[in-house]
Structure 1
């Protein structure tokens, strides 16, 4: 049984098909048609809804794509849709800001924008309460980030951004603020899932609440599909119109969402969302954080996980190249057995991995860079659109140069082969050599040995290879200071 609050009403669902999306449920079962289907792939944001869940003594409001979220993700949470904002005949302040700034035209995308702005307003209010109110310029960057997953096909975005500014500057209390304590109590009163199951005929959806429950369930049902964020898996339902009759949800297992730091490593649970990983990765590896800010949209990052990004073995997944360059490894679990495998050995071929039947990713281990190390991580994503787009080429360069000599080079690309892959021949041309343009040019030529990219609708083979070379050249330019150039001159 799945239990959640639909605004302020407790819902208990026992017979939903496992692959029912939140969007399907809202429009078909709940009769709430304010949430729209635009693309059914998480690209347009018309289906944006907000999930509220306990975070300490308050609620955290998170915008997600309803079209890519399976109903199992709602267990123990509150679902808020655009219909819930108007209260006692009056528009919510976010809705009123859209009206006042003439920010809606055809209106199809408007509910999604409103819900993204609603979540942003709640976040801004918490910052104001903690005396951390940012300047207007900083607010603009935050607004653009928050709205990057919402597309308007009618017009420009200036009035929409203006509406977001107006809404976030307001500190007016709404019905959600007034009812927060009651909502917290009601959510905490929902019984722990403890392996709850929803069934309809032969369909089954398992909701394990611990690693041990998951390991046992997957070993007993190795044909089931694991779903964490579901942002990629759900496309099989929404785009390919397939049925997923057996699912095991990972989003209710605390161990899989844990993020911790040791002196030597960053430990990331396989079901930790990209958004939750961002602060740590941004602190440890600024370029990795910058990449994550361009990883799809905020709605996708709020659901998507590194475990899922790795396990689907997509050649254009942005996480793979960076983790390969950093020398990451995976903790894999099958039943009661664990093994640790370097990520480089995990990818076997296009959409093929080293996972055995009933085995899953439990944790990602990322080595930390020593405080006295001179290693630098540079990451570049090339896509047709800055926000909410898939890479044509993604390059990650983990380079260490001492006294002008390359002593470590770990380079990986996505979009250049059937898998995310290290550029081993390119690396060999760099290590032990002077970090200068002639060395880099030899390494660029070695890329043709490492990769034979294909042409597709994102980029041609020739373009991909040229971009890959140019990214390595850019890495040289950005990591070579005037002081380093002076040292290099001594070795030339």
Structure 2
């Protein structure tokens, strides 16, 4: 934390990063705004520590997170930084403190008024600045930060009084400040930490040894936190603790602690399992986990580990599903995308989750593992398990109810690769363009005949329209066999009331949802027809 090693073994596993910073470390420069991961006032910056002396910390990017809903244990093996740490010597020599370019730019551009949101903005700006500095150290052709880079970096931070123009100006001014310091030969502070000392290296090795055992790594009274480091260890932990709360990124589950005051007795955290963060292609030369039943899945599928964060998935989806990747800038905030996982988004089973409707449209399958114990003695039990691969459409049963049961977890998700005759369209409707929950979301995959004149198959994934994410089966049937024209989609849209009866809530009325979704179906038809037109000379 801020350059100093911290080791903890006895702490409530439900402790968030924000609670630890403010109440345990008295690090009050990090603020609590909404306690739900929405406003960004609590934003902090982190960098994963190198695993060993060979790995270089300079190759690991910085990232931001919402400390209010992030469990402290998710920071195991990381360097956690707050706004106070960015400046050089502010504590011992305040009159000679050298502010970070993000901080100095906020001062110069008058980017702060009441100041409550300022530390969060500073951390978001500092993160994009430091990552660009890392890239320039590795590649001199790296482009300078532009307007879009700055807006994207602060899209998860809300300001209630100053307005965003001076904050964006500050972001654009950071590089100039850094370049001027380089010209003045003022050394920039290095935030990366390598395993340079024997004490830290020994500590990390000890921590790694402890994590490999099937024992809680944090305890307080009856509360326990397990951090298995492999799939096998996870199977054993869940077999012995089938009712434990499984915690991935916790970007929604964290609200159970901060909003509903739930004190989870046993938490099994997945962040240390690298196997769940990998991806592969079935039916290719790329390696897959031979332990998995991939034979049940179409041979050409993208397999995404359930522990992959949105940010980790993005470059993979950009390569294989560019339309899918393009919607990511509309999903939550950078802080949430850095922590939230695909498996968590699916297992959470929210009817307004952004990924499930898209995965439904893509005929995704979900690979589940159900763990059980062969013994009633938790100290000596052996794990047994059964595996199940099912379509995602069969996974969701009712509101917040799925095929998962006690001791179950999502291993990975299989997405068939798009074919030349398939077209994907995704539309999200929300009150704010960025960092907002969907009022409704439509994902449409349309399969055409070889001559491109007839619709052979249609998958319409709906979000925000029912108690679960689902396919609009009546609308789909109305499209199959029809010609590729807008009238076919207008007819299909009229069938929507046979598939869903949406509710009215704070985000939208049922009438609005129904009307907008019908118009979105027609919009997909217009996009398809326009895309089939020959390019003009």
- TM-score for the superposition, normalised by structure 1: 0.93
Q: Alpha-carbon deviation of 1:344?
A: 0.7
Q: What SS does structure 2 have at the residue aligned with 1:478?
A: helix
Tell me the distance in 1 between the aligned counterparts of 2:100 and 2:465.
Answer: 48
Tell me the distance in 1 between the aligned counterparts of 2:12 and 2:447.
Answer: 52
Q: Say which of 460, 466, 482 aligns to 2:515.
A: 466
Partner of residue 25, structure 1: 20
Q: What SS does structure 2 have at the residue aligned with 1:266?
A: strand
Q: Alpha-carbon deviation of 1:484?
A: 4.2
Partner of residue 380, structure 1: 427
The structure-2 alpha-carbon separation of the partners of 1:249 and 1:184, relative to structure 1 and needing over 3 Å to count, comes to: farther
Q: Say which of 487, 495, 501 aligns to 1:446.
A: 495
Partner of residue 323, structure 1: 359
Query: What's the RMSD between the two structures over aligned residues?
Result: 2.0
Partner of residue 351, structure 1: 400
Q: Alpha-carbon deviation of 1:47?
A: 0.3
Q: What SS does structure 2 have at the residue aligned with 1:219?
A: helix
Q: Deviation string for 1:208-261 (max 9, x for gaps)?
A: 100111111112111110111011111011111221121100011000111223
Structure 1, unmatched stretches of 5+, are 1-5, 487-492
Partner of residue 159, structure 1: 166
Tell me the distance in 1 between the aligned counterparts of 2:192 and 2:306.
Answer: 36
Tell me the distance in 2 between the aligned counterparts of 1:482 and 1:209.
Answer: 47
Q: Say which of 125, 137, 141 aligns to 2:148.
A: 141
Q: Alpha-carbon deviation of 1:323?
A: 0.3
Tell me the distance in 2 between the aligned counterparts of 1:69 and 1:7.
Answer: 17
CA contact (8 A) 2:195 2:201 kept: no
CA contact (8 A) 1:328 1:364 kept: yes
Q: Say which of 96, 102, 107 aligns to 2:110.
A: 102
Which stretch shifts more, 56-65 or 158-167? 56-65
Tell me the distance in 1 between the aligned counterparts of 2:490 and 2:521.
Answer: 9
Partner of residue 66, structure 1: 67
Q: What SS does structure 1 have at the residue aligned with 2:130?
A: helix
Q: Alpha-carbon deviation of 1:7?
A: 1.8
Q: What SS does structure 1 have at the residue aligned with 2:369?
A: strand
Partner of residue 303, structure 1: 339
Q: Alpha-carbon deviation of 1:181?
A: 6.8
Q: 2:211 matched to 1:197?
A: no
Q: Alpha-carbon deviation of 1:63?
A: 0.4
Tell me the distance in 1 between the aligned counterparts of 2:345 and 2:201.
Answer: 30
Tell me the distance in 2 between the aligned counterparts of 1:22 and 1:90.
Answer: 27
Partner of residue 269, structure 2: 249
- TM-score for the superposition, normalised by structure 2: 0.85
Partner of residue 338, structure 1: 387
The structure-2 alpha-carbon separation of the partners of 1:466 and 1:132, relative to structure 1 and needing over 3 Å to count, comes to: farther
CA contact (8 A) 2:47 2:192 kept: no
Tell me the distance in 1 between the aligned counterparts of 2:413 and 2:107.
Answer: 46
Number of positions where the alignment pairs a residue of Structure 1 with one of Structure 2: 477
Which stretch shifts more, 90-99 or 389-398? 90-99
Q: Alpha-carbon deviation of 1:175?
A: 2.4
The structure-2 alpha-carbon separation of the partners of 1:438 and 1:187, relative to structure 1 and needing over 3 Å to count, comes to: farther
Which stretch shifts more, 249-258 or 438-447? 438-447
**Aligned pairs (5 A) from 1:231-250:** 231-250=251-270
CA contact (8 A) 1:78 1:187 kept: no
The structure-2 alpha-carbon separation of the partners of 1:325 and 1:178, relative to structure 1 and needing over 3 Å to count, comes to: closer
The structure-2 alpha-carbon separation of the partners of 1:178 and 1:278, relative to structure 1 and needing over 3 Å to count, comes to: closer
Partner of residue 79, structure 1: 80
Q: What SS does structure 2 have at the residue aligned with 1:268?
A: strand
Partner of residue 50, structure 1: 45
Q: What SS does structure 2 have at the residue aligned with 1:51?
A: strand
Q: Alpha-carbon deviation of 1:67?
A: 0.5
Which stretch shifts more, 458-467 or 79-88? 79-88
Structure 2, unmatched stretches of 5+, are 90-96, 285-299, 372-384
Q: 2:287 matched to 1:287?
A: no
Q: Say which of 411, 417, 434 aligns to 2:466.
A: 417
Which stretch shifts more, 158-167 or 109-118? 158-167
Which stretch shifts more, 330-339 or 114-123? 330-339
Q: 2:439 matched to 1:392?
A: yes
Q: Deviation string for 1:380-418 (max 9, x for gaps)?
A: 000000000000010000012233210121111100000
The structure-2 alpha-carbon separation of the partners of 1:50 and 1:185, relative to structure 1 and needing over 3 Å to count, comes to: farther
Q: What SS does structure 2 have at the residue aligned with 1:12?
A: coil
CA contact (8 A) 2:49 2:79 kept: no
